């Protein structure tokens, strides 16, 4: 099976590194023209320069701050005033770690703005073209914590669950327009985010960071954490015509980490 996204346009959030970067690279490799989004303009510029243009793609980037919702609204509205996308990958940085006793109402509001409001607002703008064109792919980067909450990620557990249930509802509403909506339940991947969380864990427990990582790997049936490229493969498949009958799902990519059905 060869995935061909030639002629398609994609917008990928959080793409200055890690999972988002790998997704952008794989979409471009499959023929899509990709716009990357992140707060780091220098990193985005460098990544765009390295994306495949073998099929005549034109890539671009947009410097945004997902944690500043009002500022983000202005920038993303300006983008959609002159652009449209066929494939939207909703992905942002995660909120601060901590359990429920560490967090107060303002923390949840900030996480809601970061993880939920940015996703819904961006999707609303993207849908105008998708509905008119009778084709679209909306893919949300969520977390395995939606099914099995992680005690040290109370904010992420809570708000990402809201994103997934919203996406399930949206899939029913836009299916008649040949638009699919799917969420990916992300497990442990080799990213800066994982390294930051592991560093904090190591400090709290007074153990080496290598020990934290080793313990993490031992909990995964495949005995390793994921390569971001593997995430890119899944997103690219969901963005393709071959996945046209897959919608409203929550797909784990976690090496078998989840114990629940």
Q: Which residues are catalytic?
A: 152
CA 49 to chain centre: 22
User: Using CA atoms, how far apart are residues 86 and 138, in angstroms rounded to an integer?
Assistant: 8
The residues pairing with 183 across neighbouring beta strands, listed in sequence order, are 140, 250
Cβ within 8 Å of residue 41, ≥6 positions away: 61, 63
Nearest to 88 by CA among 5, 169, 9: 9
Phi (first) and psi of residue 80, to 5 degrees: -75, -10
Assess contact for 180 and 136: CB atoms under 8 A.
yes
Alpha carbon distances (Å) from 122 to 82, 165, 203, 256: 14, 17, 37, 31
Q: For tokens 């993207």, name the residue.
A: 126
User: What SS3 state is found at 89?
Assistant: strand
Q: What is the C-alpha separation between 183 and 252, in angstroms, rounded?
A: 9
Cβ atoms of 112 and 120 closer than 8 Å? no
Q: Torsion angle of alpha carbons 49, 50, 51, 52, nearest 10°?
A: 110
């Amino acid at each position: 099976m060869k995935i061909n996204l030639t002629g398609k346009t994609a917008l990928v959030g959080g793409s200055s590194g890690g999972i988002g970067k790998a997704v952008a690279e794989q979409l471009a490799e499959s023929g899509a023209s990709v716009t990357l989004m992140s707060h780091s303009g220098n990193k985005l510029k460098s990544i765009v320069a390295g994306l495949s243009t073998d099929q005549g793609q034109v890539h671009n980037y947009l410097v945004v701050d997902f944690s500043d919702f009002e500022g983000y609204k202005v920038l993303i509205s300006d983008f959609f005033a002159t652009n449209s996308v066929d494939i939207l990958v909703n992905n942002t940085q995660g909120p601060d770690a901590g359990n429920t006793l560490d967090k107060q109402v303002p923390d949840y509001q900030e996480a809601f703005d970061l993880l939920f409001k940015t996703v819904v607002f961006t999707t609303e703008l993207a849908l105008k073209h998708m509905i008119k064109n009778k084709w679209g792919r909306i893919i949300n980067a969520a977390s395995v914590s939606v099914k099995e909450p992680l005690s040290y990620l109370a904010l992420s557990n809570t708000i990402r669950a809201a994103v997934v249930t919203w996406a399930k509802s949206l899939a029913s509403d836009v299916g008649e327009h040949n638009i699919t909506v799917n969420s990916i339940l992300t497990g442990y991947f080799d990213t800066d985010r994982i390294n930051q969380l592991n560093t904090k864990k190591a400090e709290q427990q007074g153990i080496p960071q290598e020990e934290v990582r080793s313990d993490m790997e031992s909990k995964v049936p495949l005995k390793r954490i994921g390569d971001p490229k593997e995430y890119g493969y899944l997103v690219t498949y969901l963005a393709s015509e071959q996945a046209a009958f897959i919608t409203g799902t929550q797909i784990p990519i976690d090496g078998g980490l989840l114990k629940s059905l």
